[in-house]
Structure 1
Amino acid sequence: MLYRIQIIALLLAWPLALPALAYERISVPPVDQSFRYADLQDFRNQLLNSVTARDTESVIRMTTRDIYLSHGGHSGHDDLRQMLKAETYWADLERAIRLGGVFGETEEFRNKAPFYAPYITALENDSPLNPFEVYVVTGQHVRVRSGPGTNHAIIGRLSYEVVRSRQFDKTSMQNLSEQGDHAWLPVEMPQNGQDGWISNRYLYPLAGTRMRFIFDGQRWLIDMIVSGD
């Protein structure tokens, strides 16, 4: 299979591991495996409608009662309601849903395999690397510029691949989320290590928002939304 994934370890056991990127390019082409189940596609479309409408209670009804929300102990509907008070949280959910997803392993699930969004969570790992310095370029022929803005020269183009940031920590990731499409991130070009800048609209942090959808035997539900390490 194109993506051999060990999703549970990837989502719940940081730090993530990836090869060094000095002269190596790691391709992460977009994929959406939700076509396997019509009911999953219907569920995700309904979820996207609820998120774009900022309908808190509709989203709550689409989650498990004990939904896992952070590695810091947050869980359940009350905590989710608090998180949904932040516009940036809504925006992160919407982007994660729109980016498609992949199925995980079935061993611990009796029914249909769990579905993970976005597809970026399918990255395999082989050697330690701080997840906060890893971003995935989510577009084709994305311009890399010599400085943070469209007035700077184009020094390269990247398509659906991993880049390392020279500005990485939890605060930086949160600031990028808050600034949205107006933010620019300093990156290291994978093929030659040259410094450049990419618009945040074309980058997704590996430690960004990840979601898991499970089928409980009757319907799909979200049982996990996490962001960070």
Structure 2
Amino acid sequence: MADRQSFPPPNQAAISARLEAFRADLLDKVTARDTDAVVATACPDIYLSHGGNGGPDELRANLDLDPESLTEDLRPQAEMLRESYWQSLQDTLAQPGYFDEDGEFWMPHQWRLSLPASLDPFETYFVTGENVTLRQAPSRAGIVLGLISYEVVIIKKYLDDKAYQLVRLTDGTQGYINSDYLWSMVGYRAALVKSETGEWQLCTFVTGD
């Protein structure tokens, strides 16, 4: 990793026209915030968290997010949390993906990368664009230090309310990158899986290590 590497996204979804059509249709349903339609695409045992039971009912609960299911201090944020979950699903399904050895289609494509033990996955992010500017200061006015394409970077402290994050490249170079182009390596990922009858389904949508 010290030599820096670029991992450009493949276009593996193009291998299957039916997969592409399913994903496009699912994205339309998510964009429309149509809970019933999205839940109808889910596997019976869809995996949604590392501690929950999964399944379509849990997916529905996550998409609808009843404020009464939250602790009292979080209830005022219910609408924001609900929209954040929908937007994360939309963003994840729109990412380039890859087929694994079992024929499952995973997004985003960088989930297939194996990080070296020296990198903390919770401090590791992926630059999702091509020729993304690395700047000397956290603003568009900052001097451009270089252009970064599909690289792994380290962020010691991600600041949710900031438009730019201080990153360190794997060769030690430091600078600021716009938050819109950074995806946590323990962030959301999704898998589409073909059922026994040959229909594609949403079978994983999860975040965390």
Q: TM-score, normalised by structure 2?
A: 0.83
User: Which of 148, 154, 157 matches 2:144?
Assistant: 154
Rounded to whole Å, the distance in 1 between the matches of 2:50 and 2:116 is 23
Q: Which runs of 5+ in 2 are unaligned?
A: 65-81
Name 1:213's counterpart in structure 2: 192
Q: Percent identity?
A: 37
* 1:128 CA displacement: 4.7
State the partner residue of 2:166: 186
| Partners of 1:121 and 1:160 in 2: CA distance | 13
Pair 1:78 & 2:57 matched? yes
Deviation at 1:101, TM superposition (A): 0.6
Instruction: Please give the secondary structure, in 1, of the residue aligned with 2:33.
Output: coil
Could you tell me which of 32, 48, 55 is aligned with 2:34?
55
For residue 94 of structure 1, what is the aligned residue in structure 2?
90
Question: What is the CA deviation profile of residues 66-89 of structure 1, one whole-angstrom value per residue up to 9, with x for unaligned ones?
Answer: 211111225122321232241111
Shift of 1:35: 1.6
SS in 1 for 2:147: strand
CA drift of 1:131 comes to: 1.1
Q: What does 1:1-229 correspond to in 2, within 5 Å?
A: 21=1, 23-85=2-64, 86-106=82-102, 113-167=103-157, 175=160, 183-191=163-171, 193-218=172-197, 219-229=199-209
Q: Deviations over 1:21-44 (max 9, x none)?
A: 4x3212110112112222111110
What is the identity, as a one-letter code, of the residue corresponding to 1:147?
A
How far did 1:126 drift? 4.4
- Displacement, 1:114? 0.8
Partner residue of 1:4? none
For 1:203, give the aligned amino acid: L
Give the CA RMSD over aligned residues: 1.8
Q: Is the contact made by 2:4 and 2:169 (CA closer than 8 Å) also made in structure 1? A: no
Alpha-carbon displacement from aligned partner over 1:102-135 (angstroms, at most 9, x marks no partner): 00112xxxxxx11111111121344353211111
CA distance in 2, matches of 1:81, 1:60: 6
Higher relative contact order (CA 8 A, sep 6+): 1
8 Å contact kept, 2:115–2:121? no
Question: In structure 2, how many angstroms separate the alpha carbons of the residues matched to 1:125 and 1:199?
Answer: 23
CA deviations 1:162-193 (Å, max 9, x no partner) are 1111215xxx5xx3xxx5xx6322100333x1
> Is the contact made by 1:28 and 1:136 (CA closer than 8 Å) also made in structure 2?
no
CA 1:197–1:97 in 2, change beyond 3 Å: closer, same or farther? same
Structure with max Cα Rg? 2
SS in 2 for 1:84: helix
For 1:34 and 1:226, the matched residues in 2 are separated by 20
